Amino acid sequence: MNTALCPDFTLEAVYESMASLPVFPKIVHEALRVLDNPEKNISDVAKIIRLDHGLVANILKLTNSAMFGLSQQVSDLETALALLGQNRIREVLIASAAMPYLSRDLHGYEMSPEDLCFHSVGCAMISEVVSQRLGFGRSAELFTAAILHDVGKIVLDIYVGPRLLEVLDRSRRDDSDFSVAEWEVIGTDHAVAGSSILQQWEFPRDICRAVRTHHDPDLYIQNRLSAMLAFCNILAVQLGLGVGADGFRYRISDELLYVLGCDEKDYLDCLELSLRALEDAREVINLIYA
Amino acid sequence: MQEVIVERASMAVSSRPSTVITARSLGSTLAVIVTDPCAGVAGIGHCVLPGTSGKNQATPTVLEQMRELFKHMLQEGASAKDMKVFLCGAATFLHEPKEMALGVKLYQKAVKALEKNGLSASGEHVGGPLNRSVSVEVGSANARVILPDKKEILI
């Protein structure tokens, strides 16, 4: 029988499965919306967050961690939020909500739960220092994109896991880009799948686009948020942060540094700053896991 | 057996035969492994920066890290004539602009520094799109590369 003539419903199965994924917590979306509203204040954010015990616990743990070096323990949510400030609140909200999705074994990508978690949180922490170093104003959006950029790997691993070995074999055999091999075998890639999930979770269009293009050198150089996400991911992979089998099987655009307005010295500087950001990543992971 | 983990941009040297020194998930960074089987000393230096970025840099460059590693090896009783050097890591993307070719730069700097001192690597497992870990047993002076699929290779 010529199997090439048989219809392959893999892709349909992948996209149908996305609809049955647990939704991204509405409470986090709501808290983020309030946080960005200049007419609202910390008390308004606290009113929403206090409904979720897990979030409250994570916020208090972070505020009382060594990262802040407070002389007294804080047990009140509003005080903790005031001490954390808008950016840190956003990070804890996103990290806490994303963690259950990220703590998974991805056999097809040869990644342990620690790998995916460390890579995602590490990439997010790198995004902060790189945003500051390169004067990128949309650091909050970049942080969100960075922590969720590989969420598509989860869906592909669950629903087409065994076929990912075929993807890896093909990429190794042809020395081809892993995304190209994903398209050839599955008919999509984890970046596109991830972007679809984020659309379903109602994340802003720019974040979805950055996630969709983070391995596509021709596309990520067209948009600064996308280029920043690709850059942060590259730094995380080069530093060996939770690198999967696909980690180095991509191409970097020759124009990436030019688009970001930086040179080799800036790149080395970002690399060194990223190294320091890893300590923060470890602390956040430990806090949320504890 | 005691396992000592070398964190990024740091180093470890030991003369305890039961110690295993490990540097995990190297990515494009480079592990310089030095052993002296006669003196029973081994160490790993983890190198992240090929050169200075010139802005209050706290992380040692590959040359500074190697210098420090050799200094500690000698302090622990290693002898210059018996030391063997191995290189591991320095992974590369399928295509990367030369400014961002971290693995290539680290490897080239390390080899040049060794040559300058009349040394060469006795073994290496570097380059390509592979994320590796490496460990060295102080007692046997065996250096092992651990590949992503958990396969181990003696270098």
What are the chain A neighbours of B26 within 8 Å (beta carbons)? 240
Measured between beta carbons, the chain A residues lying within 8 angstroms of B101 are: none
The shortest C-alpha distance from B118 to chain A (Å) reads: 29
pTM value is 0.89
Give me the residue from B29, B92, B97 closest to A248, CB to CB. B92
Q: What is the C-alpha separation between A287 and A118, in angstroms, rounded?
A: 13
- With an 8 Å Cβ cutoff, are B28 and A267 in contact? no
Give the residue on B whose Cα is nearest the Cα of A263: B99
Which of A234, A243, A268 faces B131 most closely, judged by CB atoms? Answer: A243
Task: State residue A103's pLDDT score.
Answer: 77
3-state secondary structure labels for all residues of A9-72: CHHHHHHHHHHCCCCCCHHHHHHHHHHHCCCCCHHHHHHHHCCCHHHHHHHHHHHCCCCCCCCC
Structural domain boundaries in chain A: 23-102, 104-290
* Alpha-carbon gap: A33 to the closest alpha carbon of chain B (Å): 37
User: What pLDDT score was predicted for residue A126?
Assistant: 94
- Lowest-confidence region among A60-69, A212-221, A258-267, B96-105: A60-69
List the single residue in B with minimal CA-CA distance to A277. Answer: B8
Condensed to tens digits (0 to 9), the pLDDT of residues A4-19 reads 444 455 667 777 777 6
What is residue B124's predicted lDDT score, i.e. its pLDDT?
96
Residue B55 with chain A: CB contacts under 8 Å = 265, 269
Per-residue model confidence as pLDDT tens digits over B62-87: 999 999 999 999 999 999 999 999 99
CA–CA dist A133, A269 (Å, integer): 8
Q: What's the pLDDT score for residue A256?
A: 98
Closest CA to A153 of A12, A9, A14, A10: A14
Residue among B9, B29, B93 minimizing CB distance to A251 = B93
Instruction: Tell me the mean pLDDT in the region A268-272.
Output: 94
Instruction: State which residue of chain A sits closest to B132, comparing Cα positions.
Output: A240
- Asked if B22 contacts B14 with a C-beta cutoff of 8 angstroms, the reply is no
Nearest CA in chain A to B102: A238
pLDDT at A66: 73
Q: Is the ipTM of this complex over 0.85?
A: yes
Q: Is some CB atom of chain A closer than 8 A to the CB atom of B148? A: yes
* Closest residue to A252, CB basis, from B48, B58, B93: B93
Q: What is the DSSP string of A237-284?
A: HHTTSS--TTTT-SB--TTHHHHHT--HHHHHHHHHHHHHHHHHHHHH
pLDDT at residue number A9: 58
What's the CA gap between B136 and B125, in Å, rounded?
14
More confident residue, A92 or B100: B100
- Confidence (pLDDT) at A1: 41
Q: Give mean pLDDT, residues A10-37.
A: 78
Q: Is the pLDDT of residue A3 over 50?
A: no
- Select A104-290's CATH number: 3.30.1360.180, 1.10.760.10, 3.30.300.20, 1.10.3210.10: 1.10.3210.10
Q: Is the pLDDT at A288 greater than 50, yes or no?
A: yes
Cβ of residue B58 closer than 8 Å to a chain A Cβ: yes
Give the least confident one: A19-28, A38-47, B5-14, B129-138.
Answer: A19-28
Give the pLDDT confidence of B79-108 residue by residue, as tens digits.
Answer: 999 999 999 999 999 999 999 999 999 999
Domain architecture of chain B: domains with CATH? 2-154 (3.30.1330.200)
Would you state the pLDDT for residue B108? 98
Residue of B6, B29, B46, B48 to mutate, testing the A interface (most A Cβ within 10 Å of its Cβ): B48
Residue B83 one-letter amino acid: M
Residue A6 confidence (pLDDT): 44
B120 and chain A: CB distance < 8 Å anywhere? no
CA separation for the pair A119, A234 (Å, rounded): 11
C-alpha R_g of chain B: 15
Q: Which residues of A109-119 are buried (b: 16+ CB within 10 A; e: fewer)?
A: bbbeeebbbbb
pLDDT at B55: 63
Reported confidence tier of residue A20, pLDDT bands at 50, 70, 90: low
- Does the beta-carbon distance from A251 to B94 stay under 8 Å? yes
Q: Which whole number is the average pLDDT over B39-44?
A: 98
Percentage, residues of chain B above pLDDT 90: 90
- Asked whether the predicted pLDDT for residue A144 surpasses 50, the reply is yes
Q: Is B97 on the interface with A (CB under 8 A)?
A: yes
Q: Which residues pair with A224 in a beta bridge?
A: none
Would the CB atoms of A242 and B25 count as touching at under 8 Å?
A: yes
